[in-house]
Amino acid sequence: MNPSIDASGWLVDRFPGLERLGGGHHSLVYRAGNQVLKVYHQRGVASLERKNLETAGLASLVVSQLSLPDGREVLVLRYFPGRPAVAADLPGAVPAIRSFLDQLHARPAGLVPADKVAERLRSFSPLLDPALLPLFEAAEAAGGAVPAGFCHLDLWADNILIAEDGRVMIVDWVRAGPEDPLRDLALLKTGTLDLLPADQSLELIVAGLPVHLLPRLRAHLVLTYLHDIYWLYRNDSDQYRAQFQDKLARARHVLAAL
């Protein structure tokens, strides 16, 4: 067993060859043969992710749900032989990703509250840099009540796995829920497609999108860049200034191009 594993003997005994794959805010992730085990830090999250996988049409990935003696919950999933997406994968993978998201977003999920975007923008008010004022103004257009679809809401590159044969799998469904589908597309661009040059990234996200949706996508993209800047401001002071300039440049590119 890998000495870096943080798992109980109970789990190791039942899954020979257990190895640590990684982990994040919600869980530690392990592999045992053709299965992946997610060990959650908080109760209830395993059931939440399982429910979201079922809603997304991915129930076949779930093998079982367990509880450790210490109370931690474990979701056992089928292993997908892929690795996190890198820039070179994206032009070929985007059609499959977009096709899957179209099916996902078609699942009705009520309405997005009319004031949701305004509330989010108010939460970013500590960002006082004058350079951000045009972004705040542009992002307001993402507001208003619109039909919600079921969305993944965490489409950064590590959650998009690419297999050697080109198959694509989207993982980590803890944040999934009802939202404007254009927010998912904005997150896909800012979290993954921005590994590519700005023009190419934008072309891939707008391809095939009806023209009447472009103004709202523009607003959601700018809103997402503001969210990223605010997160850096609150959580990563060492990287804030350097990434601030990159995020600001990408947002300005969107404003000029759409």
pLDDT at 113 over 50: yes
pLDDT (0 to 100) of residue 242:
83
pLDDT at 18 over 70: yes
pLDDT (0 to 100) of residue 89:
97
Residue 216 CA to residue 82 CA, distance in Å, equals 33
Q: Mean pLDDT for the chain? A: 93
Residue 1 CA to residue 39 CA, distance in Å, equals 17
pLDDT (0 to 100) of residue 53:
98
Interacting residues of 127 by C-beta distance below 8 A, sequence separation 6+: 226, 229, 230, 233
pLDDT at 233 over 60: yes
pLDDT (0 to 100) of residue 1:
39
What value does the mean pLDDT take over residues 118-131?
94
Q: What CATH number labels 9-78?
A: 3.30.200.20
Residue 162 CA to residue 147 CA, distance in Å, equals 31
pLDDT at 240 over 90: no
73: pLDDT confidence band, cut at 50, 70 and 90? very high
Residue 168 CA to residue 177 CA, distance in Å, equals 21
What value does the mean pLDDT take over residues 10-33?
88
pLDDT at 62 over 90: yes
What value does the mean pLDDT take over residues 114-125?
95
pLDDT digit string (tens) for 190-208?
Answer: 999 999 999 999 999 999 9
Indicate the domain borders of the chain: 9-78, 83-257
What value does the mean pLDDT take over residues 214-219?
98
What value does the mean pLDDT take over residues 225-245?
90
What value does the mean pLDDT take over residues 51-69?
96
pLDDT (0 to 100) of residue 69:
87
pLDDT (0 to 100) of residue 70:
85
Q: What is the greatest pairwise CA distance in the chain?
A: 57
Residue 37 CA to residue 188 CA, distance in Å, equals 25
CATH architecture designation of domain 83-257? Alpha-Beta Complex (3.90)
